[in-house]
Structure 1
Amino acid sequence: MNAHLRRCVDAAAALGCPTVGTFVGRDPGLPVRDNLERAAGVFKPLVGYARDRGVEIVIENCLMKGWHPDGYPGNLAYSPELWEWMFTLGLKLNYDPSHLVPLGIDPVAAAMPYVSEIAHVQAKDTEILPGAVNRFGFYGPINGEKGWYRFRVPGLGQIDWPMVIGALRAGGYDGVVSVEHEDHVHSGSTERVQTGLGIAYGTLRHLVRG
């Protein structure tokens, strides 16, 4: 796995791409603190390898619930507390506000103190399904699925995109905002995907620079 990440860094450097994204995995049999100690030893040399080639490693704040046998966070980068740990290693944040909504975290308040550490932004929305949380709770069904929320294209969920993009710009972010299409309502055919992307474009076009 680490050899693969190094090859991705080499490819990014050859292509002039400034970032390579990955996650911080975990051993589900160990406490979070023990996992973080192990992860620090893994990532420090990888960060150095990337920086020597003009590339930064970015970590997305996705929960990756499917990595954990009980559906708990499998990626140890899901909250600002863990972002601060990442930054001490020289890792940067691939900021996706859609993953904060199900945690009860305000995407704007979460991002504002750390804009200088954000190296990439993913635009994806989250729709809360009415009443479903009363059955599953915030942790979701026992099979690890989301259960009470689903991802949508920007503009069809709970996220206030003018506030999110405004906070990023106010903090000095002037990088990429890439649409991550995981909207199953607008999937299944080329036409549906294009419709979803059109909605995302219409939501974001006046908020970002071309």
Structure 2
Amino acid sequence: MKLGMLTACLPQATLPEIAQWAAENGYSALEVAAWPALGDRPFTATHIRAEDFSERDADQTRELFARTGLTLSSIAFYDNNLHPDDQERRSINTHLLSCIDAAAMVGCPTVGTFIGRDPGATVADNLRQAEKMFPRIVDYAGERGVKVIIENCVMEGWHPDGYPGNLAYSPELWEWMFSLGLYLNYDPSHLIWMGIDPIEAVRPYVDRIPHAQAKDIEIFPALRNRFGYPGRAVNRSDPWDVGWWRYRVPGLGQVDWRRLIDVLYEGGFDGVLSVEHEDPVWSGTPDKVRDGLDIARRTLARHIVA
């Protein structure tokens, strides 16, 4: 197992700058953000331009990772592959294929994305749509030696009423994804607020997890008693502000990282555990973000056998 980080938390830094900092501060791998230039969407960045990635870009990327001694664990493009607008859906699907091409060019084993959801259709209808679309993407990736991994983020902000916007949030849906040839980029934080035990839930599925993310979560029970599971309903100007929980860097929330990492080891996981920094306390400036990454490293590194 190696400790890595997702580069999206430092959107203004260049990939060489992030790689140098990571190598000097105890990280062994990078999960590299590859969103297209989409403006100021939160928690996205463009550290690889997959849509026009060239052989020269691939050579430079391989040289960077060789020079810093880091592993390129995954290319990250988390967007709604079932977007309700047909033109936007095609654009997202096409960019995902570009990320797969870029991963193949640099020898990166995985590309991460979401299933997504059309919020105007039922869950069952969305699953049938995905069953028509994703096998082609899985085949395309497999022909290039790349695995497509799906993060189990709920993406409640994509749904107008705060219900799941990414149909990968439970073990039932993981089994459905696996039947399509997809893999899981496991993040325990999302399970806790849904009432699922993140340690017991993952035990049967470790062999389908080539990559995992480390994000923590802080729960406020008194506010949950007020708002209920879907979160704020009357005054919710920010679709992502559920009102009763927030993400934290590992060590400042409720995930039991000692037990979770032990379960991953027990199940044979030998991939990268990648810190996904979305902690509002340790955000706002690049220095605070890096401080948050340092907290995460100090929390996790003592449980990982180098």
- TM-score above 0.5: yes
Q: 91-100 or 20-29, which moves further after superposition?
A: 20-29
Distance in structure 2 (CA, Å) of the matches to 1:103 and 1:178 = 22
Residue identity opposite 1:147 in structure 2: G
Q: Aligned Cα RMSD in Å?
A: 1.0
How far did residue 209 of structure 1 move?
3.4
Name the SS for the 1:17 alignment partner: coil
Residue identity opposite 1:38 in structure 2: Q
What is aligned with 2:283? 187
Q: How does 1:126-137 map to 2 (within 5 A)?
A: 126-137=217-228
Cα gap change, 1:163/1:26 in structure 2, threshold over 3 Å: closer, same or farther? same
Following TM superposition, the consecutive aligned residue runs of length 4 or more in structure 1 with deviations greater than 6 angstroms are: none
Matched, 1:25 2:155: no
Distance in structure 1 (CA, Å) of the matches to 2:261 and 2:297 = 14
Work out which of the residue numbers 223, 242, 248 in structure 2 matches 1:152: 248
Work out which of the residue numbers 203, 212, 216 in structure 2 matches 1:121: 212
What is aligned with 1:172? 268
What is aligned with 2:9? none
Work out which of the residue numbers 72, 82, 105 in structure 1 matches 2:173: 82
What is aligned with 2:41? none
What is aligned with 2:80? none
How far did residue 51 of structure 1 move?
0.4
Distance in structure 2 (CA, Å) of the matches to 1:129 and 1:191 = 27
How far did residue 70 of structure 1 move?
1.0
Structure 2, unmatched stretches of 5+, are 1-91
Residue identity opposite 1:122 in structure 2: Q
Work out which of the residue numbers 90, 94, 116 in structure 2 matches 1:3: 94
What is aligned with 2:137? 46
- TM-score (normalizing by structure 1): 0.97
Name the SS for the 1:184 alignment partner: coil
> Which structure's CA Rg is the greater one?
2
Matched, 1:197 2:293: yes
Residue identity opposite 1:181 in structure 2: H
What is aligned with 2:194? 103
Q: How does 1:57-68 map to 2 (within 5 A)?
A: 57-68=148-159
How far did residue 130 of structure 1 move?
4.0
Name the SS for the 1:131 alignment partner: helix
Residue identity opposite 1:184 in structure 2: P
Name the SS for the 2:139 alignment partner: helix
Distance in structure 1 (CA, Å) of the matches to 2:179 and 2:196 = 22
Q: 172-181 or 190-199, which moves further after superposition?
A: 190-199
Name the SS for the 1:178 alignment partner: strand
How far did residue 134 of structure 1 move?
1.1
Distance in structure 1 (CA, Å) of the matches to 2:107 and 2:243 = 40
Work out which of the residue numbers 163, 181, 184 in structure 1 matches 2:259: 163
